[in-house]
Amino acid sequence: MNFEGETIEDIILSEDKRGVSELRHLLPGDFCERAAQYILDHPGKVAIITGFYILTAGKHETDGPPGAIAIGNALQSLGREVTYVTDRHTSPMMREWLGESARVVEFPIANEAESRLEAQRLIEELNPDLLITIERCGRNAGDVYLNMLSRDITEYTARLDYLFELGVPSVGIGDGGNEIGMGNLADHIPPVDRLPDEPAITEVDRLVIASVSNWGGYGLVAAMSRMVGRNLLPPVEEEARLITQMVDDGAVDGGSGINRYYVDNFTLEENGELLELLHKVVEGAT
């Protein structure tokens, strides 16, 4: 597979298998750079939200957490305090991957009223200056959480989108239309054949779209790297080891629901090829 493109946005929308690139014209041409600048313009504490439950496997997928960790590590290297927020399906593995020094918060899976109270409590406790969400299912207009097959996963999904309704500056990353942040484009998603008829409605201040959400995370880190003059991207080999460990610990390929070394139907080698190209873009600019 040959990933290519003149810009970071070109690269992360390469090999689009779902049709999300059909939404590109609705965003600024440099949407990745704008999101990166927004992050840098909001210094302080950051909460990163991720974790997507795969119904057929009863596990979380390999897309989302690696991108979240890439963003978190980049921000920590810039001196930012990072907290990861997810639910019980993803939190044990996040803690294992990140180690004891990392802060991982498990948001309960509960009803609307309890979840809204918990969201308010958590925002008051963490007092974040910025929220970043990557590959996290968001509720639709019917207050239901649907996967890409339009199957209801509400009972397995913590209502983390309520965090984004409390006035905290935010950035979102999605690849399918049912993720937190894709509410920015909710009216334009149903007409795209392979995207949801009932998309997520939760909005963010800056949106990044990509063929794979992890790639959107890498693209965001690449854009920040160019702005600060330092390559903050994870090494290709390190990222492959992380995804391998995730799968060994039970995570599944979201594209197939199978416990295999893939991310959204892309192999580790293909994922590495894209990441390597982003490294070249960054190193050519630093």
On the question of pLDDT at 4 being above 90, the answer is no
3-state secondary structure labels for all residues of the chain: CCCCCCCHHHHHCCCCCCCHHHHHHHCCCCHHHHHHHHHHCCCCCEEEECCCEECCCCEEECCCHHHHHHHHHHHHHCCCCEEEEECCCCHHHHHHHHCCCCEEEECCCCCHHHHHHHHHHHHHHHCCCEEEEECCECCCCCCCCECCCCCECHHHCCCHHHHHHCCCCEEEEECCCCECCHHHHHHHCCCCCCCCCCCCCCCCCEEEECCCHHHHHHHHHHHHHHHHCCCCCCCHHHHHHHHHHHHHCCCEECCCCECCCEECCEEHHHHHHHHHHHHHHHHCCC
Instruction: Assign 2 a pLDDT band (cuts: 50, 70, 90).
Output: confident
- pLDDT per residue as tens digits for the range 195-237: 999 999 999 999 999 999 999 999 999 999 999 999 999 999 9
- What pLDDT is attached to residue 18? 94
Residue whose structure tokens are 């330092």: 230
Task: Please give the model's pTM, rounded to 2 decimal places.
Answer: 0.97
Q: Which of 59, 224, 52 is nearest to 148 (CA)?
A: 52
Higher-confidence position of 179 and 1: 179
CA 261 to chain centre: 19
Task: Report phi then psi at 85, rounded to 5.
Answer: -125, 130
Which tens digits make up the pLDDT trace of 32-80? 999 999 999 999 999 999 999 999 999 999 999 999 999 999 999 999 9
Q: Are 244 and 268 in contact (CB under 8 A)?
A: yes
Asked if 20 and 31 count as a contact pair (C-beta separation under 8 A), the reply is no
pLDDT in the model for residue 143: 97
Residue 66 backbone dihedrals phi, psi, to 5 degrees: -60, -40
The pLDDT value recorded for residue 286 is 60
Average pLDDT of the segment spanning 156-184: 98
Give 225-273 pLDDT, tens digit per residue.
Answer: 999 999 999 999 999 999 999 999 999 999 999 999 999 999 999 999 9
Mean pLDDT of the chain: 96
Q: Is the pLDDT of residue 6 over 90?
A: no
- pLDDT above 70 (res 285): no
